[in-house]
Amino acid sequence: MQLTFRWFGPDDPVSLAHIRQIPGLSGIVSALYDIPVGEPWPRERLAGLKSTIEAAGLRFAVVESIPVHEDIKLGWPTRDRLIDNYRASIRAMGEVGVPVLCYNFMPVFDWVRTDLERLLEDGSTALAHDDLALAEIDLSEGTAELPGWATAYSPAELRDLFVAYEDVGPDELWENLQYFLEQVIPEAEAAGVRLAIHPDDPPWPIFGLPRIITNGAALDRVIDLVDSPANGVTFCTGSLGALPSNDLPELARRLGARGRIHFAHCRNIRVTGERRFHETPHPTASGDVDMFEVLRALRDTGFNGPLRSDHGRMIWNEKGRPGYGLHDRALGTTYLNGLWEGLSREVRR
């Protein structure tokens, strides 16, 4: 297992120098955040980012992520050109030596929350989601009312996207995902890059849009679409854990036995109602994710890839990007490191 940390580049209020001081941590998860969606990533830009990371005594372990253009998800004729650009970005990753690419196939919206500052009993704040609150958000003025949404859509752009997706249901989305993977997985194999699809977050339809990567059966199906060691998953305990029917240790054991968990996001959540949850500190006792058993399953199946603490609370008066402060993610990292050390010693005994 390789402990890693998400870093949003030079504009991130969390510095590489501070990340470097987290015990046991060796890798950085990052991306080229200013490249327009659909454009190929220049090799020299990736190489420059890698050099910056290495100069801080860390290594560039995962690209998270190269966004998949909506035309690819929609299956439009323009997708072939955009897939060619995506393949070029994968080639650039291989040439620079970044081995894992985390991506998702969520229509229009990436991860969604309805509250970025849910006050917890200990006085910290955390990300939270409630489908009832989501239903009250008015998108007629674009995405301005959607908390924390990174990609801004105008009312006209959002209206056009919703119209486009009227003809795309789960079956069509699966077909378009298969087409995409059939084109990019051979490129990934040649480049020495492992693709790791991220589960939908939250793992159910939102705003009437289909979401298909929601459970273990879906992750198995993704792997089977193109049976290659380069085609794998990001095992996200928070995304999958928001659906109580997902048995996370069993899923980790099954997918790990197939050798297809290429990346792991470990965070804890508390489910508080139907399609309602909030994020918590990382330890098992803090939420509904049995982090000990998840890591045991990863250990038992030989997982040796990158793993990172995921969304943290904002604690100790820290200000910054919600979910991505330094302090609680660092605490989460040391907790995960301690669990892994204990599990590793258990095996040796």
294 in any annotated domain: yes
**Confidence class for position 155, pLDDT limits 50, 70, 90:** confident
Active site residue 266: no
Residue 150 clears pLDDT 70, i.e. is over it: no
Pick the catalytic residue from 71, 290, 310, 328.
310
Q: Assign residue 85 a region: left if phi > 0, alpha if psi is -120 to 50, beta otherwise?
A: alpha
335 in any annotated domain: yes
Range of the domain at 99: 2-137+171-348
Active site residue 265: yes
pLDDT per position as a tens digit, 161-216: 999 999 999 999 999 999 999 999 999 999 999 999 999 999 999 999 999 999 99
Query: In the structure encoding, which two tokens stand for residue 110, read together?
Result: 């990436």
Pick the catalytic residue from 129, 282, 311, 327.
311
Task: State the residue for tokens 């910290």.
Answer: 124
Answer yes or no: are the C-beta atoms of 133 and 142 closer than 8 Å. Answer: no
Active site residue 236: yes
Active site residue 310: yes
Task: Report the pLDDT value the prediction gives residue 147, as an integer from 0 to 100.
Answer: 81
67 in any annotated domain: yes
Report, as an integer, the average pLDDT of 309-314: 95
Active site residue 102: no
Task: Report the pLDDT value the prediction gives residue 138, as an integer from 0 to 100.
Answer: 86
- Beta strands 2-6 and 306-309 are parallel
- CATH code at 107? 3.20.20.150
147 in any annotated domain: no
153 in any annotated domain: no
**Confidence class for position 345, pLDDT limits 50, 70, 90:** confident
Number of domains in the chain: 1
Instruction: Provide the 10 A C-beta neighbour count for residue 299.
Output: 19
54 in any annotated domain: yes
Active site residue 198: yes
**Confidence class for position 260, pLDDT limits 50, 70, 90:** very high
177 in any annotated domain: yes
Task: Report the pLDDT value the prediction gives residue 348, as an integer from 0 to 100.
Answer: 57
Residue 148 clears pLDDT 80, i.e. is over it: no
Report, as an integer, the average pLDDT of 302-329: 95
Instruction: Give the CA count within 13 Å in the CB-facing half-sphere of 30.
Output: 27
Pick the catalytic residue from 69, 129, 262, 265.
265
CA 12 from chain centre, in angstroms, equals 18
- Beta strands 194-197 and 100-103 are parallel
pTM: 0.95
Say which DSSP state 285 is in: G
218 in any annotated domain: yes
**Confidence class for position 306, pLDDT limits 50, 70, 90:** very high
Report, as an integer, the average pLDDT of 34-45: 96
Pick the catalytic residue from 69, 102, 129, 236.
236
